[in-house]
Amino acid sequence: MHWELSDEQELFASSLREWIAAKFPTESVRELQNAGSTATFTEALIGEGWWGVGYAEDVGGQGGGLLELALAAREFGRAAVPDSRWLAAALAAPLLTEAELAAQLEGERHFALAVCADRIPTWSPIHTDGARLTATVRHVIGALDADVFLVPVTGPDGPALARVAASDAQVTTEDLLDRSRIAGVVEFADAPIAELVSTSSLEAVATRAAVLVAADALGSAERMLDLAVEYSKQRKQFGQLIGSFQAVKHACAQMLVTVEASFSTALYAAAAVDAELDNAPVIAAVAKAQVTKAVADLADSALTVHGAIGYTWEHDLHLFYKRAKLDRTLFGAPSAWNERIAASLLDAPTRTA
C-alpha cells in the first residue's frame, strides 16, 4: 500500500521544502551547526507562520494535526536543520494547558520534557516528596532553550508531572553525534517544584515521539538517496560511471524500496493517531522500529556508494548519515519499540473462528 497525501498536504510539504531551501540552504545549516544554536531557525519558523502548523486554531495554531507535524519533520530531516526546540515543543504539547500551549505557539514560553532522549518508551519517573526535586537527566532535547521543564515523577500520590522552572536547574550543553540536534544535561539540585499534577498523557507523548522521529528519518533517507544517485552519475571508475555498475544499481534500488516503504509507514502512523484508531500507539511503534532501523541501514549503503568522499566533513552526506544514525536510537532503539509491540500483541484478546 502506498500512502497518498491530499493536494493540500502536498502543497504544504512542497511549500515548506521551498522555504527551507531558500532560507536555510546546506551552507547555512553548516553555519548554524558550528554556532550550536537553534534560535535562528526557531525565530524564522515562528515569524513566518510555520511554527503553528499542526496545532488547533483556537490555541493560536494554523490547524492540522500530527500528520502535518510529521510532514514538517520529514522536511526538517531532509534538510538537516536544527529543529531541537521545535521537536521539544511538539512533544510537550499534549502535557500543556491551553494557555500554556498558546504561549508556546507565540514563542513566549518554551516547555521541554526532561527525560533522557533514549528512554521514552520505558519511562523512568524520578522520585520526589512533591515539593522539591533532586536528579540529573541526560540527553534532554531542547533543554538549552527551555523556560520550564516537565518532569515525569513518582510523587506522594503516585505518578505525576512536575513543572520546574529552568532558572532552578543547571543546564549544560551535551554533544551528540548529530550536530543538528542540541541536547543538554539537566541537573535538579533540591529544585522547588512549581506545580505537581497527575497526568495520563505520557503515552500520547511516546506516540508522538515515535511518529515524528520516523518521519524525520524518512526525510533523511530521501536526501541520502538523492545524493547517492547524483554521485553515481558523476563518479567514474575504470573509465565508466559507477552508476552503470550492477552492484551500485542494486544498492540504489534497495534504497528506493526503503524510502517508499518508510513513506507509507511513517505517514500512515501519523494519520492513524489523528484518526484516533484504537491501535494507533502500536502503529506508531511499528513506524519507529521499522523506519529508523531501515534508514540507518540505508545510510550505510549511501556511504558505500560514495566511497571515501562520504566520510569527509566537506561532503553533505555526513549531515544526513549522522542524523539517520541518531534517529535510530532517539527516544528509544528499535528493540525497545519492538518490545512494546510484542507486549501489545500478547495483551490482545484471542480471536476464535
Q: Are 334 and 323 in contact (CB under 8 A)?
A: no
Q: Are 180 and 29 in contact (CB under 8 A)?
A: yes
Who has greater pLDDT, 209 or 251?
Answer: 209
User: What integer is the mean pLDDT of 148-174?
Assistant: 91
Domains defined for the chain, CATH in brackets: 7-105 (1.10.540.10), 111-197 (2.40.110.10), 202-347 (1.20.140.10)
The pLDDT assigned to 198 comes to 79
Q: Are 160 and 201 in contact (CB under 8 A)?
A: no
Relative to beta strand 148-155, strand 111-113 is parallel
User: What integer is the mean pLDDT of 248-275?
Assistant: 94
Distance (Å) of CA 63 to CA 52, 53, 72, 171, 259: 7, 6, 13, 33, 28
The pLDDT assigned to 175 comes to 84
**Interatomic CA distance for residues 179 and 319, integer angstroms:** 8
Residues in the chain: 353
Cell of 299: 545510510
User: What integer is the mean pLDDT of 4-29?
Assistant: 94
End-to-end CA separation in angstroms for the chain = 27
User: What integer is the mean pLDDT of 122-130?
Assistant: 82
pLDDT of residue 294 exceeding 90, the answer is yes
Read off the amino acid at residue 33.
Q
pTM here is: 0.93
Distance (Å) of CA 92 to CA 110, 202, 249: 9, 10, 43
Cell of 218: 524518512
Render the burial of 106-142: b for 16+ CB within 10 Å, e for the rest: ebebbbbbbbbbbbbbeeebbebeeeebebebbbbbb
DSSP symbol at 308: G
Cβ neighbours for 272, distance < 8 A, ≥ 6 positions apart: 279, 280, 283, 284
pLDDT of residue 350 exceeding 70, the answer is no
User: What integer is the mean pLDDT of 14-27?
Assistant: 96
